[in-house]
Amino acid sequence: MQGEPREGRIVVVGASLAGLRAAEALRDAGFVGSLTLIGEEPQPPYDRPPLSKQVLLGKVSADRTGLPQRRRVDAQWRLGVRAIGLDPIGKEVLLADGEKVPFDRLLIATGTRARPWPKPAEATLDGVFTLRTGEDAGRLAERLDAGPERVLVIGAGFTGSEIASACRERGLAVTVAERGPAPLVGALGGTLGALAAKLQRAHGVDLRCGVTVTELEGDGRLTGARFSDGSRIDADVAVVALGAVRNTEWLAESGLAAGPRGVTCDAGCRAFDMYGIVTDDVFAAGDVARFPHPLFEYQLLSLEHWGNAVAQAEVAAHNMVNPGPRRRPHLTVPAFWSSQFGLNIKSVGVPTFSDQVVIAQGSLKDARLVAVYGYRGRVTAAVSVNQAKALEYYERLIETAAPFPPAPGAADRIESPVPVPSDVPDPKTLSHGPTVALTGHLPDRRLTLVQPAR
């Protein structure tokens, strides 16, 4: 690090949630040097969670989800231009327009993009969408407004399920195709996956699990799809919800430990190089980062969570402008939420880091419950369905590595609190990517490595 940590040039690549919050935190921490934010999309940072919910329902237009700026960041914004390379010796970021942006310290916050439909000819059919950007959401919402005959959602992870929910709320016919055994199973395991399947069907979704889409049919315009079980449907809209791809290709020649699973960094958000040596001037935060977490046996985690982007960005920013002994680790307990089919789902911890699960409060029957996940006898995650206020208690149990199953006495324990296998499937069997990837061996012995899907 050259000179004073609060001076010099900081470049942030990625102008979405993590990039913006890091920039704000840098200024809050007293950084007075030059700050540059580079973003591929032309518009200022916006919020993504509403895109698969309120925007698809037509309650908010896609261009109205801008992120509030909590303070002036006094930065140079380079929007609408992509970073295409990093020169770690010359300390420059190379941009697609040929410009080189020099830095003293760099924050990589390039996030993820939607995984495209693998067959380009089919992916370009009119009526085939992905959903990641505001522009995606705007175009899809417009198409849903037009009242398609049937929407096919490919992949029943959180994004796919939320899209299906929005379509049903609009009264549209929906088919959901999922390669795994149930919706949401990749994030929540078998017990809640079964509940999600039941609910989707109760809401009129034509849910097909254990199948893949083999072909999107059409001649310029989508007309239908074929499945691996030999069946086919007519559909005029298909949304490809196969998870995300981490935006790390631009770092291929950088010498950093960057690949399909993200940019590997230490607990203080400092990126590793390809030899596992930590850098001291390159940091990573948000969906693109892959970091060790002590609560989950220091396995490297990649998270696609809103809250993680914020918390990690703040830690990265702090560490960028503070000397070694003052640096902080990013230890936040992972957490995310979803709303779909009238349910509010919230999760703390990492449900896939589990071998057993117990319904600690409420019941599957009422679709109001807290499921608590354990791994080798300690609590590692909890998921609430329509009972979010209960979750804070379990977060504390996760943080303190409390014994699993949790002690009896819960006020509203109805169903027998017997733990059952958590049935976390091998991510390879999912059509969508998991929103949490444990990039070592998963605790359930049937699991192996996360594969770069397809």
Q: Which one of the spans 165-173, 297-305, 351-359, 401-409 is the region binding another protein (CB under 8 A)?
A: 401-409
Least distance (Å) from another protein to the CB of residue 362? Answer: 7
Residue 392 within binding range of another protein, rule CB under 8 A: yes
Q: Which one of the spans 164-172, 307-315, 382-390, 416-424 is the region binding another protein (CB under 8 A)?
A: 382-390
When the beta carbons of 195 and 197 are compared against another protein, the nearer one is 195
Least distance (Å) from another protein to the CB of residue 201? Answer: 21
Residue 68 within binding range of another protein, rule CB under 8 A: no
Q: Residue from 59, 326, 365, 396 that binds another protein (CB under 8 A)? A: 396
When the beta carbons of 238 and 369 are compared against another protein, the nearer one is 369
Least distance (Å) from another protein to the CB of residue 365? Answer: 11
C-alpha dist (Å) from residue 296 to 111, 359, 379 = 22, 21, 11
- Burial-class residue 212 by CB neighbours within 10 Å (0-12, 13-18, 19+): middle
Least distance (Å) from another protein to the CB of residue 71? Answer: 13
**Could you identify the residue written with the tokens 């899209």?**
163
Residue 407 within binding range of another protein, rule CB under 8 A: yes
Residue 165 within binding range of another protein, rule CB under 8 A: no
Least distance (Å) from another protein to the CB of residue 411? Answer: 4
When the beta carbons of 19 and 374 are compared against another protein, the nearer one is 374
Q: Residue from 362, 405, 433, 434 that binds another protein (CB under 8 A)? A: 362
Q: Residue from 163, 390, 430, 442 that binds another protein (CB under 8 A)? A: 390
Residue 361 within binding range of another protein, rule CB under 8 A: yes
